[in-house]
Amino acid sequence: MTRERILIVDDEADIALILKLQLEDAGFETLRAKDGGEALELLHREEFSLVLLDIKLPKLDGIQVLERLGPALQEMAVVMMTAHGSEDLAVESMKMGALDYISKPFSAEDLLKKVGRALEFNKTRKENLLLQQQLEEERKKMAAILAGMADMMVATDSDGRVISINQATANALGISVESPLGMPVEELLTSDLPPARLPCKVVLRTLSSCLDVSHSLHARDRIIPVLSSATPLFAVSGKLAGSVEILRDISHLKALEREREEFVSMLTHDLKTPLTAVMGSVDLVRESRLGPINEEQKEYLDSATESCGEIVEMIDTLLDVYRFESGKMSLAFTEEDLGAILRKALSSFRPLAERSEITLSAAIPDDLPYLRLDRTKVGRLFGNLLSNAFKFTEEGGKVVITAGLLPDLREALGRIPPGTYQSEQLPDSGSYVMIEVRDTGVGIPRDALGSIFDKFVQARNRREGKIKGTGLGLAFCRKVMDAHGGLLWAESDLGKGSVFTVLFPLVRVEQRGA
């Protein structure tokens, strides 16, 4: 173990020897300097834990040595030695940076107490200096991070007054970083939100995070759409210290949203309208209103009508997915007979089943309860699921719809593939009406089951080696079920077929898609 080194600075050899013996008996390593000049040379060349410095020395006295050491005293423990009657000089030396003094003559016990206290104090002082350096480094790092942040940041105290903003905030609002300090945060962040609903004010009131609040920030010469999140700040004691809010400028997202709205408008007017005209013209010819046609011509016209209808349906699905995501979808919730909706969907696919030589069957109880739902959207949902089943089932295969009650959701939760829902999206329990659409088709890869309800994700028909559809049908189905407070998932084994399960809650469902 390394012993602590002490420098003894005293011109009297007998006193220096006594100090050396007493300190080395206590386990210290010592070195002597005869005067102030020699002491300074040793201190510049070597490291010591403590200096015992006599005030009266030849050449340079103790006070002058302290003056020469200057800032180095901040990291050095110095105990002054003074003769009786020189206490005023000792006190002056402590003002200059010495930690303590001891008056001659002194006992070994007094010496070791003074040395021990000085070493302990200096150890604590060094630790504090190190902590201060670390804190300053962290402060500089944080300042650099905040200065480089593209997002705006505002920090407040527990009273909601601004204590810090970053450069991005200053740039966005056209102010300096220092100017809003001490200002109520609602005066800095003027918004279309009431002041009490600003995220940083909400967290000061609720003591919990407030995430992803969309609002418009009023700057000097413009309005900035932002997405804000805030969290409370707590002291080590657990007491509320303030809040910090991050505001992301989403102007580019709003611009993209406007472009998307223009695209949707284009779909409606520039695509659907001409298609409707084409379908009307084809119908005139197909129905022989413009003159007689033969059977072969009628088949071609029927095919053209069907293809136009598929394109219109794709456009409608894309429009509906957009309306769901933008919150512009209006659903007409009424009390409906779910069994009747299922039977109607089945009947519309029977001709396709016969042409495809696929067995279509169902087990739908007559006493299925009425549910509050949007009849049109739910009808399209089951139409999409049946269409998907037929699309990937070969001749001789089967498509089956079953319906019934699920008294406890917990019986089915284990069947939901990972990635289909976030855990917080799943209810813990409840009673549901369960509908299953089964097929004996090519199946879906297990690792794709969690993502097939995302937009533009398509199930691959591996037997045919091609992809069918736009990848929006299942996304539409998921949006419909979300709006009804229900669940939808898929289970599958490659080569053995798939099962799509739909759950409608047996409770009154408020409209969530509007």
pLDDT at 202: 94
Task: Note the pTM of the prediction, 2 decimals.
Answer: 0.52
Judge contact between 443 and 495, C-beta under 8 A.
yes
pLDDT tens digits for range 59-114: 888 889 988 888 877 778 899 998 766 778 888 888 888 888 888 888 899 999 99
pLDDT tens digits for range 79-88: 999 876 677 8
pLDDT tens digits for range 205-261: 999 999 999 999 998 888 999 999 999 999 989 999 999 999 999 988 888 878 877
Tell me which residue of 436, 425, 446 sits closest to 495, measured CA to CA. Answer: 446
Q: What is the CATH number of domain 333-505?
A: 3.30.565.10
Query: Which residues 6+ apart lie within 8 Å of 124 measured at CB?
Result: none
**Residues 449, 452, 454, CA angle at the centre, nearest 5°?**
135
Can you tell me the mean pLDDT for 441-457? Answer: 84
Domain boundaries, the chain: 5-129, 149-249, 254-326, 333-505
* Whether residue 465 has pLDDT greater than 80: no
Greater pLDDT, 407 or 463: 407
For the chain, what is the total number of helices (H) and then of strands (E)? 14, 19
Hunting for tokens 């173990």 — which residue is that? 1
Residues paired with residue 491 on neighbouring β-strands, in sequence order = 499
pLDDT at 512: 42
Determine what percent of the chain is predicted with pLDDT higher than 70: 94
pLDDT at 508: 44
Greater pLDDT, 172 or 146: 172
Query: Which residues 6+ apart lie within 8 Å of 251 measured at CB?
Result: 224, 225
How sure is the predictor about 459, in pLDDT bands with cuts at 50, 70 and 90? low
DSSP line for 399-427? EEEEEEEES-GGGTGGGSPTTSS-GGGS-
How sure is the predictor about 188, in pLDDT bands with cuts at 50, 70 and 90? very high
For the chain, how long is the longest CA-to-CA vector?
136
CA dist., res. 438 & res. 360, Å (int): 10
How sure is the predictor about 463, in pLDDT bands with cuts at 50, 70 and 90? very low
> Mean pLDDT over all residues of the chain?
86
Tell me: domain 149-249, CATH 3.30.450.20, correct? yes
- Residue 54's CB is within 10 A of a number of other CB atoms, namely 24
CA dist., res. 166 & res. 151, Å (int): 9
pLDDT at 129: 83
Judge contact between 62 and 80, C-beta under 8 A.
yes
Question: For 5-129, which CATH superfamily applies?
Answer: Response regulator (3.40.50.2300)
pLDDT tens digits for range 356-408: 999 999 999 998 999 999 999 999 999 999 998 998 999 999 999 999 999 98
The mean-pLDDT minimum among 12-21, 37-46, 87-96, 172-181 falls in: 87-96
CA dist., res. 251 & res. 246, Å (int): 15
pLDDT tens digits for range 9-21: 999 999 999 999 9
Tokens (6 digits) for 309: 């209808």
CA dist., res. 345 & res. 354, Å (int): 15
